[in-house]
Amino acid sequence: MAKTKFDVEVLTPEGELFHDEVEMLSTRTAVGSIGVLANHTPLLAMLDPTELRLYRSESDIVRFAQGEGYLQVADGRALVLVEEAHEPGELSASDLQERLRQAEQALSEAEENTEAARTALRDKRRWETFLRIAEGGGAH
């Protein structure tokens, strides 16, 4: 039986990426993985890099590698705000390896407990996640 659909919009600073009705949305908040169905209670969540999945149906799934962002559920609609999101096919593994290497280097050069170290760690996690998605592993 088809599930109830709800409206989802994915916005990035570079424009709208997705706007459609879906049965389920799955992503990852700072607390853990989350799946949102229709009629979810109002929510404001902080998102970590992961594979964002939008289930138009059981078999029709739109996937994005998403960076840091936010999820807002209100009035039966979901709004996903992400700094960056790419279709998995757009990602370049070699490019990501290079970025990951730079982040690791920055992390090793940064002194502990500085903002520089926190920034490098955040970058490292993002590129690791993207790299996993690029290599076809998914991130959940």
Partner 1 sequence: MAQRDVKNRIASVKNIEKITRAMEMVAAARLRRAEQRIAALRPYAGAIRRMTRQAAEAAENIPSLPILSEHESERTIAIVLVTRDRGLAGAFNSQILRAGLRAGAEHEEQGRSVVYYAAGRRGVSTLRFRKKDPVGEYVGFTDRPAYANARDIADDVMTAYVDGQVDRVEIFYNGYVSALTQEVRRETLLPLQQATILEASEGDDEDTGHHALVEYEPDPEEILRRLVPDYVEISIFRALLESTASEHGARMTAMRNASENAGELIEDLTLEMNRARQAEITQEIMEVVAGAESLT
| Residues of the shown chain interacting with partner 1 in the complex, contacts defined by CB under 8 A | 11-16, 29-31, 34, 41-46, 68, 70, 72, 74-75, 79, 81, 83-84, 114-116, 119, 123
* Residues 79, 9 contacting (CB under 8 angstroms): yes
CB 75 to partner 1: min, Å = 8
Residue 131 CA to its chain's centroid (Å)? 13
Phi, psi at 48, each rounded to 5°:
-105, 160
CB of 58 to partner 1, least distance (A): 26
Q: How far is the CB of 91 from partner 1 (least distance, A)?
A: 13
Token pair, residue 75, equals 């009035």
Between strands 43-47 and 6-12, the pairing is: unpaired
Separation between Cα atoms, residue 52 and residue 41, nearest integer Å: 20
Question: Which amino acid would we find at residue 128?
Answer: E
Total number of residues shown for the chain: 140
Collapsing DSSP to helix, strand or coil, 30 comes out as: coil
CB of 53 to partner 1, least distance (A): 18
